[in-house]
Structure 1
Amino acid sequence: MKENKTNIAIVGGGIAGSTAALFLANAGLSVTLFEKAPSLVSGPPFCHLHAGGNLYPEISDEQCLTLLKQSIDFARLYPHGVDHRPTVIALPTYCSRSTEHLLPRLQKLQAYYEALIKEDAENRVLNDPSVYFKLYEKSEIEALREKKSLRHPETLDEWMIPFAKETDLEKIQFPVILVQEYGLNLFRIGARLLLSLEADTHVDLRLSTSVTKIEKENGLWRIHSIDQKGKKEERFDYLINAAGYQTGKIDDMIGVPCERMVEFKAAYVSQWECEEDHLWPEIIFQGERGTPRGMGQFTPYPQGYFQLHGMTKDITLYEGGLVASTPLSCQPQLPQKFIEKIEYAWKEEETIERTRKAIRHLSQFIPSFASAKVGSKPLFGAQQIPGNDPTLRVAEVAFPAPHYARCEIVKVSSTIDMSYAILDDLVKSGLLEPSSCKPVVPEKMKQIKEDAVSKQAEILCEMREYPTALAHLCVPKC
């Protein structure tokens, strides 16, 4: 690889900053990654490959098509982190929409997926396009109730058996949709990135390091940081702001304008001893966000663990948890109670209360799930949303000043388009040769082995006080 003397500083080692570091180092650039936490990808939780955006009926078809393409690219980059189980989408009887409203979009997505495979056969990561989705009428679901659950389901019908057996069919509309949107495992993706970046000689990985001040001096960025060894000042040619929900703090430091929101969210971990040994698909019960009938999301992990979302203000969403920037500061000010959760710890009574509410929210559709217990502390964090539209789901990066990139991802699958856009800006700035900017999977990622990812993912779970079962896939990678 041709060496490049350009020095890049990345502030923030979440999924955005870590992925950018991976691609820039692969282009021969010298990258210093500053992360205040002791490990990578410790920001807001993600659990779902939004391969079409079918969880968001309110967003545009254009955003959904973009999410599909980005999700395919993401699955190709992070195969160790993809759980190959499909997703069931059910509309409760109280929904004003019907499944028929979703069909035109699903058909567009199916056609687009087929076209992407024709462009590049390696894009076939969501099973065959002919089974990208399937509709199930009530009579078909009732017939599947009589079937035996399988530990290794292969067909779409076999995946639907647990749903058929355990769901209260009087509470949902028909047809029900099964779609090839898979799970994502944040611990495994974080582990793979950590192993890759630690092994890359182009990357100086600074964990447990805080950036305290940034100044522009003679065309260079002067960055002040502090770690356990003390304070340091360094100069860099290019700055990438990947500070997640604290992105506005970096903008304030260097004096660039912005408009953004920040939203605090949490997902809850439960453990359930189901009478039958099911291997579950993910299940989405759609609903109206922010109301008591908000969406319910049921995400399986091994050993009977389930991650739960309830898009109500008593469960995943919080009163006062969505805040916006002001003319005085780019950094939206979350109430202190949310900062304390992010920076310190949850109170046990709140963990128990909200997890039980999440269990009740899902058990209205899956009655036997009412016996589930609290599995661990929640998965939580604050998500940035650029602009002023809280329904935005596709965003990548902005370049509000010379030699400065502000990462603005909302969904993790946008990180690859984000990284390529930064590489393009480096070329335009004269800091990178065009020949170095090629859309390839970095070699360091290809070299990481499955057992190393699993071991490191377990270490991350233990560091963050989560069950090590969350480090593994329901459907092991072949």
Structure 2
Amino acid sequence: MKNNVDKCVEGSALTLSEAFTVGIVGGGVAGSTAALKLSGMGINTVLFEAGASLVSGPPICHLHAGGNLYREISEQQCITLLEQSIATVRAYPHSVNRRPTVIAIPTTDPGEPDAILNRLELLTTHYKMLVKQDPDNAVLGSPDDYYTLFFREDMVALSDLPLPESPQTPQEWMIPVAHHMPHDNFKYPIVVVQEYGLSVFRLAATAALGLEDSPYCELKLGHQVTDLVSEGDGWTIQAKSAEGEVVSQRVDYLINAAGFRTGKLDDMVSSPKQRWVEYKAAYVAHWPSKPGQWPEVIIHGERGTPQGMAQLTPYPQGFIQLHGMTQEITLFEGGLVRSDDQTSYPPLPESMVEKADGGWEWPEIRERTSRAISHFAKWLPEFEQAEVGGKPLCGAQQIPGDDPSLRAADASFEGERYARVELVKASSALQAADRILEQLEALHGVTLPSDWNAPALSLTESLTESQVVEKAKTLTTLRGYPEALAIPFPEK
């Protein structure tokens, strides 16, 4: 890592003193994005990550460009998620799986399609405004095609058409759904919306490729932070490496991006914060007989009940990622916990902490994956033929504040030298980094260029898709997942 001695970064107005260094604890999507943004501007960063690689936390799979998976959240949260998702696509273009999402409400659900139609119109209007402000924001396709409605007669007509090899239009993407999901099971209209997929492995690969070559970022993988000591005008980070070496690092500014363990760091620095933590898992199935190219399919349902939302996320080679928002599948009894007056770290059961760190037993993997397959097969009978495709993608998700339904969150601050990043959705990471840069400019003499808050990440914008995919494949091998999860979908 190089120190900045009143050095201007090419193309930037940034000037820093020699000693100024930012320490980041946690190399998930929050910490990695902050490191990419800051070090890309010439700010010295030191990133501590306990694991062997970056971005290996909760099961990221969906961009959430409008929040249409969540009927219960506010319209403002949906708009925020739309804006953040557009920025994420622009920053991590090779991480996106560009296929639409089907939103359907089963006849057994008390909800009605009208509940989200007004929201969709609001989001379309906002998307049009964002594209008018900057044509580069049109990353979700034409605003006029943000969503498309399908009625029962449309489904009947589509079911007579052949499956397309390479679907391009909403109608073509809907053909396999019309062929294989019984029409009488749903309320109408069914929606196809331009909410894309997000590959956690290609996102992790992008971050790794950008930071490994950055002269302004020192990566400390396999380093568990053991203590944080305030020094008045900065901090000392104490950590232990995987080999047992004790490390002490002096920094001027500290970013707590420790994921569901954020509260442990808050306790270390005596900065209490109320939050929830929820452990969740997604399951990997293999459906060799999968007919045609499928969109993502969301079947709305009441969270936590046996009829909870079902989510089918397609990948190449017949692999499918599944969520079932029931206590027997994605959710876990005792898996939603909150902090209290004694600690900022919600007491997640140790068995779930072990699972978050990879401690799954195969009998439970088979049982829960089979339940997830059967849950979706209620609406797609042929899917009952699917089988276990790998170990779960899992982790614990933190939710700041006192509202467990919150889905759009970013950064908060304690004093002038401590920031915490608490993401509920990965697409919020860039906004969190931008808020931290605002404080660095306001309080620490960092002069930022006029376009500092543009979504592009200078350290990664020259990466090619093939570079990202090859790196992502190595990460699937390292973590024990099918290589297909690293490959763009739909395949070209």
TM-score category (smaller protein): over 0.9
- Residue in 1 aligned with 2:283? 268
Residue in 1 that maps onto 2:69 = 55
Moved over 6 A (4+): none
Cα offset, 1:274, TM superposition:
2.2
Q: 2:247 matched to 1:239? A: no
Measured on the aligned residues, the alpha-carbon RMSD in Å equals: 1.2
Deviation at 1:311, TM superposition (A): 0.2
Residues 229, 351 of structure 1: alpha-carbon distance in 2 compared, 3 angstrom cutoff: closer
Within a 5 Å distance, the mapping from 1:106-145 to structure 2 comes to 106-145=120-159
Matches within 5 A, 1:46-445: 46-227=60-241, 228=243, 230-274=245-289, 276=291, 278-435=292-449, 438-440=452-454, 441-445=456-460
Pair 1:303–1:402, CA change in 2 (3 A)? same
Give the paired residue count: 476
Amino acid at match of 1:460: L
1:41 to 55, 68, 88: 55
User: Distance between the aligned counterparts of 2:162 and 2:65, measured in 1?
Assistant: 29
Which residue matches 2:470?
455
Do the aligned residues in 1 keep the contact of 2:279 with 2:397 (CA within 8 Å)?
yes
Whether the 8 Å contact between 1:27 and 1:437 is mirrored in structure 2 is no
Q: CA shift at 1:437, angstroms?
A: 7.2
1:9 aligns with: 23
Secondary structure of 1:445's counterpart equals coil
For residues 283 and 63 of structure 1, the distance between their equivalents in structure 2, rounded to whole angstroms, comes to 22
Query: CA shift at 1:343, angstroms?
Result: 2.5
Structure 1's 253 and 436: CA in aligned 2 closer, same or farther, altered over 3 A? farther
Deviations 1:119-170 (A, max 9, x none): 0000001111111101101111111111111121111110100111110212
Cα deviations by residue, 1:17-47 (Å, 9 ceiling, x for unpaired):
0000011112211000000100000111111
Alignment match, 2:4: none
Quick one: distance in 2 between partners of 1:49 and 1:23? 20
Q: Aligned to 2:414, what secondary structure does the other structure show?
A: strand
Q: In the TM superposition, what whole-angstrom CA distance separates every residue of 1:429-455 from its partner, at most 9, and x where no partner exists?
A: 124124477123122211212111111
Equivalent-residue separation in structure 2 for 1:187 and 1:218 (angstroms): 39
Tell me the equivalent position of 2:35: 21
2:485 paired residue number: 470
Distance 1:412 1:156, change over 3 A: same
In 2, Cα distance between the equivalents of 1:429 and 1:94? 55
Tell me the secondary structure at the aligned position of residue 232 of structure 1. strand
State the alpha-carbon separation in 2 of the partners of residues 275 and 464 from structure 1. Answer: 26
Structure 2, unpaired ranges of 5+:
1-8
**8 Å CA contact 2:316, 2:491 repeated in 1:** no
Contact 1:37/1:207 (8 A) holds in 2 = yes
Cα deviation for residue 344 of structure 1 reads: 4.3
- 8 A contact 1:423–1:437 mirrored in 2: no
TM-score, normalised to structure 2's length?
Answer: 0.95
Larger mean Cα displacement after TM superposition, 468-477 or 216-225:
468-477
Cα distance in 2 for partners of 1:182, 1:343 equals 27
Secondary structure at the aligned position of 1:173 is classed as strand
Secondary structure of 2:264 counterpart:
helix
Q: Quick one: distance in 2 between partners of 1:200 and 1:3?
A: 18
Q: Residues of 1 paired with 2:310 and 2:426: CA distance?
A: 20
Shifted more, 442-451 versus 283-292: the winner is: 442-451
2:335 and 2:110 mapped to 1: Cα distance?
A: 27
Deviations 1:70-125 (A, max 9, x none): 11011111110111100000001011121112111100000100010000000001
In structure 2, the CA distance between the partners of 1:267 and 1:414, relative to structure 1 (3 Å rule), is: same
Secondary structure of the residue aligned to 1:401 is coil
> Can you list the C-alpha shifts for 1:200-225, whole angstroms capped at 9, x where unaligned?
11000111111111111132201111
Structure 1: distance between partners of 2:304 and 2:135: 41
Question: How much has 1:171 moved relative to structure 2?
Answer: 1.3
Distance 2:445 2:204 in 1: 29
Are the counterparts in 1 of residues 315 and 490 from structure 2 also a CA contact under 8 Å? Answer: no
Amino acid at match of 1:307: Q
Percent of counterpart pairs with the same letter?
46
Aligned to 2:461: 446
Q: 1:297 to 1:122 in 2, by over 3 A?
A: same
Please say if residues 16 and 409 of structure 1, whose CA atoms lie closer than 8 Å, have aligned partners that are also in contact. Answer: yes
Cα distance in 2, alignment partners of residues 107 and 272 from structure 1: 35
Partners of 2:290 and 2:205 in 1: CA distance: 33
User: Which whole-Å CA distance do the structure 1 matches of 2:400 and 2:207 have between them?
Assistant: 25
Once residues 480 and 277 of structure 2 are traced to their aligned partners in structure 1, the CA distance between those partners, rounded to angstroms, is 25
